[in-house]
Amino acid sequence: MSEVKINKDTPASQMTPGGDIYDAGNAVNFKTGDWRSVKPVFLSDKCKQCGLCFPVCPDNAIPVKEDLKRTDFNYDYCKGCGVCAKVCPFGAIAMEEEGVK
Amino acid sequence: MGIRERLSGNEASAIAMKQINPDVVAAFPITPSTEIPQYFSTFVSNGDVDTEFVAVESEHSAMSACIGAEAAGGRAMTATSANGLSLMWEMIYVASSLRLPIVMSLVNRAVSGPLNIHNDHSDAMGIRDSGWIMLFSENNQEAYDNLIMAHRIAEHKDVRLPLAVCQDGFITSHSIENIELIEDEKVKEFVGTYKPEHYLLNRKEPIAIGPLDLQSYLFEHKYQQAEAMRAAKKVIADVSADFEKLTGRKYSFFEEYRLDDAEIAIVCMNSTAGTTKVVVDELREQGVKAGLLKVRVFRPFPAEEIAKALSHVKAVAVLDKSDSLNAAGGALFEDVTSGMYVNNVHVPTVNYVYGIGGRDTTAKDIHGVYSDLQEIVKSGKADNPYRYFGLRK
Amino acid sequence: MAYNLKEIVAKKPARFTAGHRMCAGCGAPPVARMIMRALKEEDHAVVANATGCMEVSTFIYPYSAWTDSYIHTAFECASATCSGAEAAYKAMKRQGKLPEDEHTKFIAFGGDGGTYDIGIQSLSGAMERGHDMTYVCYDNGAYMNTGIQRSSATPHFADTTTSPAGKVIPGKMQARKDLTEIMASHHLPYVAQSIGVNNFKDLYEKAEKAIYTEGPTFLNVLAPCPRGWGYPTDMLMEINKLAIDTCYWPLYEVENGKYKITYKPAKKLPIEEFLKPQRRFKHMFKPGNEWMIEEFQKEVDKRWQELLDLEEITNK
């Protein structure tokens, strides 16, 4: 996805007419990770790859690879809602205060 | 040579639409424009057009469907009047802000209330600042010709704005007059095919239309619309010149009828111009130097050109077929006088609100206006600029 | 092909991307993303979105979270807008202006405000006209985008900002409108009610059916709103489960007039279980307000029984 070139300093002559966006899906350039106050931590040794957490993430922040296995969270987007941790039957996702280690 | 016919304004508009052969027509019945979708749906039923006719459940949906269709990459058209346009109002602004060159046949009628189905311009005046190009038509021929020119103007890359072709309800829409139609093939060639640069149905380049456009962006997008409206003037002139080559019929921003040496002038739009021309001829026979300026292009408003055209006259009357209810004159009056002021043209000018709700406008009424103007020239005074005619006070 | 969540999530692209700005824990994005995943990979979609939470959070200039073509026009007319795009598609396809072997599907999304209330005319019109499109209502039971005002989808007694639980009037005094039934009465080829639960099989399969059934189809999907309903953000999936286990939100489909309940809880839970975790129903649990819970339960039971009856009658 190419970088979004329009910003609050862009002159009218260089803005897309009507507010159209020709680069569908470019919202991936917008990071929402800084909304988080709590953070999910992926405990991979506990994970049984059951898949229950895959679809529940509102922010598509649980990457699933070609081998059908999830990997660590994408913190660029995770807003820290905790839905994934709550659905995990194996305690493989822990919620921690953001900024506390 | 064209095809000689006798048609009502609605029939002529429907035939123009048939010749244009748009991809989608979405419309809802409302007097006096109802006949247009009626005729058109017959063309669809008989396979005369390639159009998908969407018989929507409201005018709001008519304009919404036109927006969807135009954004998808098709040509979309509709027809409406009065309250139908009022119900569309929200989407009228959306259409222009999304820069979609939808074309509408607007058969002018009084907006409720109280309910009245007859002609005035209150519907059109309601959308005068909505970012639509607005062309007014004196008769069936002009309604037809303006529609044939509409897509070339609206779709031009420097413009990309929706366009409404206005005609007077019943007076023009339902009166059968002589008309010269253009051959189907010639229309097809003149109008051309629509090739938008970006559109929803282009799967190679999916796009998003209609954002939440916050403080950092809406102002610039509005400025782009304003620039497009300014650019439309040249495009309208160019397309009209091409149209003259095709048909021999000349169209400008406005028609000057015996205006070049006139001392007194009326400015008006649509069918009243026909009545006024008769009166001008009668007055000229009596040696009175009367003239007419009939506005065709109301949006973009040719302020400078109108001011210039009126600069030599001694008194002007601007006729508004809609009362702005603002204690300061009708919409056309405001535009004409502000154009004159800004361009340093200072001619005594008065406003007449007339013809509301289909009140007849007679030659006698127009004679009355010209004699008022003669009075103003004589006395040098234009007391009470906000006037009416045809009204029982 | 049997439903395989892992295959779907791993191999089919998320056509509703990250980087949108819906609230943390919002119930709508997982729903929209799964519905979009139900599209065949080779098919293109035009999404029409009504004004609402989803629209103002997924297409804030200059960012769009949709990888398909997307259009938003206004609040009440996603259906009409979508129907216009679909009509253009038909006309252009007929004239050979679009490739013959490529397909575009039309999907409209609206919240309950934009669907049950202000958009119902446009929806009814588009469905009646028979456009080949799927309308998806993500029902969060109030006007959440403007700050939790009651809609006709708001449940009975719910405390909202325009049906506040006060000293005299204890919340919204009307039971919710049953839009799914209204749409079923349009005799559409496919109407379904779903939710995001467990592995999302119910939602995915219904979405796939809706999108690939020719003609107008309708999906009503419950999408909880942690802010508007007043429960902790992490409870999304529990709330969904309670909604179906209490039969507050029955899962069913109506295919050419035949009803099929797609989930019958082994043990139907009392409605309190669904109401209790939500702040909007808090006042119902005050002493003296037991009648409200009883009335709510009665309504749920009545509708559930009606549904069981409809299933029986239409499958005779």
CA distance B250 to chain C (A): 34
Is 60 exceeded by the pLDDT of residue C243?
yes
CA distance A8 to chain B (A): 5
Which residues on C lie below 8 Å from A16 (Cβ)? 62
Is 90 exceeded by the pLDDT of residue B287?
yes
Kindly determine whether residue C196 and residue A56, on different chains, have CB atoms separated by under 8 Å: yes
Question: Measured between alpha carbons, how far is B266 from B313 in angstroms, rounded to an integer?
Answer: 10
62-81 of C, contacting B, C-beta below 8 A: 62, 64, 66-74, 76-77, 79-81
Which residues on B lie below 8 Å from A21 (Cβ)? 207-209, 211
* B56 at interface of C, judged by CB pairs closer than 8 A: yes
Tens digit of pLDDT for each residue in C281-303? Answer: 999 999 999 999 999 999 999 99
Q: What is the pLDDT of residue B326?
A: 95
* B380 at interface of C, judged by CB pairs closer than 8 A: no
Which residues on C lie below 8 Å from B61 (Cβ)? 77, 79-80, 83, 121-122, 125-126
With a threshold of 0.85, tell me whether the complex ipTM lies above it. Answer: yes
Band (pLDDT 50/70/90 cuts) for residue B386 is very high
Mean pLDDT of chain C: 97
Q: What is the pLDDT of residue A1?
A: 61
User: Which of C16, C20, C73 has the most B C-beta neighbours within 10 Å, making it the best mutation to test the interface with B?
Assistant: C73
Band (pLDDT 50/70/90 cuts) for residue A101 is low
Residue C134's alpha-carbon distances to B371, C141, C211, C256, in angstroms, are 65, 21, 6, 15
| Homologous superfamily assigned to B3-247 | Thiamin diphosphate (ThDP)-binding fold, Pyr/PP domains (3.40.50.970)
In this complex, the residue of C6, C22, C66 whose CB is nearest that of residue A24 is C66
CA distance B75 to chain C (A): 8
- Domain B254-388 coded CATH 3.90.850.10: no
Question: Measured between alpha carbons, how far is C167 from B87 in angstroms, rounded to an integer?
Answer: 40
Q: What is the pLDDT of residue A98?
A: 87
* A4 at interface of B, judged by CB pairs closer than 8 A: no
Is 90 exceeded by the pLDDT of residue C116?
yes
Question: Measured between alpha carbons, how far is B35 from C283 in angstroms, rounded to an integer?
Answer: 57
Q: What is the pLDDT of residue C2?
A: 86
In this complex, the residue of B24, B56, B212 whose CB is nearest that of residue C125 is B56
Is 80 exceeded by the pLDDT of residue A2?
no
Residue B174's alpha-carbon distances to A10, B33, B107, B119, C316, in angstroms, are 51, 9, 10, 11, 57
For C198, name the nearest residue in chain A, comparing CA atoms only: A52
Band (pLDDT 50/70/90 cuts) for residue B63 is very high
Q: What is the pLDDT of residue B45?
A: 98
Give the start-to-end residue ranges of the domains of chain B. Answer: 3-247, 254-388
For C227, name the nearest residue in chain A, comparing CA atoms only: A81
Which residues on A lie below 8 Å from C66 (Cβ)? 24-25
- How many residues in chain C? 316
Report, as an integer, the average pLDDT of C187-210. 97
Q: In the CATH hierarchy, which top-level class contains the domain C5-314? A: alpha beta
Which residues on A lie below 8 Å from B213 (Cβ)? 19
Kindly determine whether residue A20 and residue B223, on different chains, have CB atoms separated by under 8 Å: no
Kindly determine whether residue B68 and residue C81, on different chains, have CB atoms separated by under 8 Å: yes
Question: Measured between alpha carbons, how far is A100 from C100 in angstroms, rounded to an integer?
Answer: 57
Is 80 exceeded by the pLDDT of residue C33?
yes
Band (pLDDT 50/70/90 cuts) for residue A25 is very high
pTM over 0.95: yes
Rg of chain C over CA atoms, in angstroms?
19
In this complex, the residue of A29, A60, A64 whose CB is nearest that of residue C33 is A60
Give the start-to-end residue ranges of the domains of chain C. Answer: 5-314
Which residues on B lie below 8 Å from A18 (Cβ)? 97-100, 160, 209-210, 221, 224
Kindly determine whether residue C237 and residue A86, on different chains, have CB atoms separated by under 8 Å: yes
Q: What is the pLDDT of residue A99?
A: 77
Q: How far is CA C223 from the centre of its chain?
A: 7
- Asked if B3-247 and B254-388 have one fold, the answer is yes
CA distance C203 to chain A (A): 11
In this complex, the residue of A7, A8, A20 whose CB is nearest that of residue B198 is A20
Tens digit of pLDDT for each residue in B124-167? Answer: 999 999 999 999 999 999 999 999 999 999 999 999 999 999 99
Kindly determine whether residue B207 and residue A11, on different chains, have CB atoms separated by under 8 Å: no
Tens digit of pLDDT for each residue in C128-172? Answer: 999 999 999 999 999 999 999 999 999 999 999 999 999 999 999
Question: Measured between alpha carbons, how far is C234 from C223 in angstroms, rounded to an integer?
Answer: 14
Q: For residues B141 and B179, is the Cβ–Cβ distance under 8 A? A: yes
Q: What is the pLDDT of residue A100?
A: 64
pLDDT cut 90: percent of chain B above it? 99
Q: What is the pLDDT of residue A3?
A: 77
Which segments of C130-229 does DSSP mark as H helices, in order? 179-184, 201-212, 226-229
Is 80 exceeded by the pLDDT of residue B228?
yes
Tens digit of pLDDT for each residue in C167-193? Answer: 999 999 999 999 999 999 999 999 999
Mean pLDDT of chain A: 95
Q: How buried is B219 (Cβ within 10 angstroms: 0-12 exposed, 13-18 middle, 19+ buried)?
A: exposed
Band (pLDDT 50/70/90 cuts) for residue A68 is very high
CA distance A43 to chain B (A): 38
In this complex, the residue of C14, C62, C235 whose CB is nearest that of residue A86 is C235
Bridge partner residues of C138 (DSSP) = C111, C221
Q: For residues B150 and B236, is the Cβ–Cβ distance under 8 A? A: no
Which residues on A lie below 8 Å from B100 (Cβ)? 18
Tens digit of pLDDT for each residue in B333-384? Answer: 999 999 999 999 999 999 999 999 999 999 999 999 999 999 999 998 988 9
